[in-house]
Amino acid sequence: MPLALAMLGLMLVALSITSLMLGARPIALSAVRDAFLHYDPGMTDHIVVRQYRLPRTILCLLCGAAFGTAGALIQASTRNPLADPGILGVNAGAAFAVILAVGVFSFASITAYVWFALAGAAMAGLLVYTIGASAGGATPVRLLLSGVAISAVLGGIGSSVTLLDPQAFDSLRHWQVGTVAGRNLAVAATVAPFIMAGLLLALIAAPALNAAALGDDTARALGLNLSSLRITVILSVTLLAGAATAATGPISFIGLMMPYAARWIAGSDQRRIIPLTMLCSVNLLLAADIAGRLIIYPDELDAGIVVAFLGAPVLIMLARSARTKTL
């Protein structure tokens, strides 16, 4: 465990530095260092690092952790290994609300539409939860299907809004792929407080999630307040998925894959899984974003697409694996 932590931490630092250096215009390490220590607004390299790559890297850190932790929370609280805010429609709820905000109410600034995103994520999250918590507990397939249904309904209404408004369509199609590129520091600063709060709530909920894993009755017998735990979890998922979606657009599958990696490293203790998931997810989004800049160089593939192409095969493998056969 300490070894894994150290390695993941090192990886995070290395990837962050790489993320500042690589791209359509490769920049030497010394120039990156100078951009922070002796910033010269006349140097193109310095501008690229400070104005483009730094916000991008910070967004990877924030939103990677957010999407991953949201997935870990949903997996733990619904006792469902195939959960992810993207697949279950929570991101779609946030995305739908952003489309409404931009397309119908003409809010162009993220400081305004982040609130819409939070409300949308909360509604979709509650809906998923209602279905997941209905009598007898939901099977993974039922939860997944409800996610499909929620995404379908919201996507349908959303596209009717964008199809009638070419301007909104144009600005939203770049956001809808899920990307950390082309955002400034103000975007990161807007969503940072929400994501920090969400991460904190997730860490607070972790010990109680351990007890909840034993089943509702046992958890109650151990003195756990289940409804307050549920509220904490929903609040945290809303903050994380809503704010991250507002910043990057909907990115799926981080929350599906990384809790698996964390469980593989640390076993079944949520107090370890949740912080580990955060670290792993940040690394994944950073790596995906860097890979996206290199795969079709000098053009770029958005991080959301790279993650989807990694994550979907993982989902399919999980469905085929022996352990989930009985689900």
Partner 1 sequence: MKALIHRVPRHGRDAGRQVSFRIRTRTLAVCLALAALLLVLAFLSLTAGRFDTGMTDVFNALSGQATGKTRMIILEWRLPRMLLAMLLGAALGLGGAIFQSLTRNPLGSPDIIGFAAGSHTGALVVLLLFSGGYYATAFGALGGGIVTALLVYLLAGTTGQQGFRLIVVGIGTSAMLSAFNAWLIQKADLEMAMGAAFWAAGSLNGLGFEQLRPATALFCLLCLPVAALARPLRQMELGDDAALASGVTVRRTRGLLMLLGVALTALATATAGPISFIALCAPQIARRLVGASSVGLFTPALTGAVLLVLADAAAQHAFGRQLPVGIMTISVGGLYLLWLLIREGRR
Residues near 175 by beta carbon (within 8 Å), at least 6 away in sequence? 98, 249
Q: Which amino acid is at 129?
A: Y
* Residue (149 or 186) nearer to partner 1, CB: 149
186 is an interface residue for partner 1 by CB under 8 A? no
291 is an interface residue for partner 1 by CB under 8 A? no
Among 130, 225, 228, 268, binds partner 1 (CB under 8 A): 130
Q: Give the x-and-dash track for 20-59 against partner 1 (CB under 8 A).
A: ----------------------------------------
Report angle CA 194, 20, 29 to the nearest 5 degrees: 145
Among 253, 274, 277, 289, binds partner 1 (CB under 8 A): 253
Among 60, 99, 102, 138, binds partner 1 (CB under 8 A): 138
Q: Which of residues 60-89 bind partner 1 (CB under 8 A)?
A: 82, 86-87
With CB under 8 A as the rule, give the number of residues binding partner 1.
55
126 is an interface residue for partner 1 by CB under 8 A? no
295 is an interface residue for partner 1 by CB under 8 A? no
Give the C-alpha separation, 280 to 277, whole Å. Answer: 5
Give the C-alpha separation, 91 to 97, whole Å. Answer: 10
- Min CB(27)–partner 1 separation in Å: 25
Full 3-state SS string of 200-267 = HHHHHHHHHHHHHCCCHHHHHHCCCCHHHHHHHHHHHHHHHHHHHHHHHCCCCCHHHHHHHHHHHHHC
Structure tokens at 71: 């997935």
Among 19, 77, 176, 236, binds partner 1 (CB under 8 A): 176
Which span sits near partner 1 by CB under 8 A: 133-141, 185-193, 197-205, 214-222?
133-141
Whether 124 and 92 have beta carbons less than 8 Å apart is answered as yes
What secondary structure letter does DSSP report for 37?
H
213 is an interface residue for partner 1 by CB under 8 A? no
Which span sits near partner 1 by CB under 8 A: 15-23, 139-147, 239-247, 257-265?
139-147
Q: Give me the half-sphere count of Cα atoms (radius 13 Å) on the Cβ side of residue 134.
A: 11
- Min CB(323)–partner 1 separation in Å: 13
Structure tokens at 134: 């209905």
Among 71, 198, 255, 311, binds partner 1 (CB under 8 A): 311
Structure tokens at 167: 């301007």
- Min CB(77)–partner 1 separation in Å: 17
- Min CB(302)–partner 1 separation in Å: 6
Of the candidates 299, 50, 72, 312, the one whose C-alpha atom is nearest the C-alpha of residue 179 is 299
Whether 241 and 125 have beta carbons less than 8 Å apart is answered as yes
Whether 300 and 177 have beta carbons less than 8 Å apart is answered as no
Sites of contact with partner 1 (CB under 8 A): 82, 86-87, 127, 130-131, 134-136, 138, 140-142, 144-146, 148-150, 152-153, 155-157, 159-160, 162-164, 166, 169-170, 173-174, 176-178, 252-253, 301-302, 304-305, 308-309, 311-313, 315-316, 318-320, 325, 327
